[in-house]
Amino acid sequence: MRCDPPPPRIGSAQSGEKDGMFVTVRAVLEDGRVIEFVRDVGDEEDLSPRQLLEREAHDGVLSLSDSEHVRLESIAHAEFVDIAAPMGPGWGPGLQDEDAASAAASNYERSKRA
Kindly report, residue by residue over 47-72, the tens digit of the pLDDT: 899 999 999 999 999 998 899 999 99
pLDDT at position 16:
46
Predicted confidence (pLDDT) per residue in 67-109, tens digit: 999 999 999 999 999 877 667 666 556 555 555 666 666 655 5
pLDDT score recorded for residue 30: 95
Instruction: Return the pLDDT at 14.
Output: 47
DSSP for the chain, written as a single string: ---PPPPP-TTSGGGT-SSSSEEEEEEEETTS-EEEEEEE--TT----HHHHHHHH-BTTEEESSSS-EEEGGGEEEEEEE-PPPPPPP---TT--HHHHHHHHHHHHHHHHH-
pLDDT at 26: 94
pLDDT higher at 22 or 75: 75
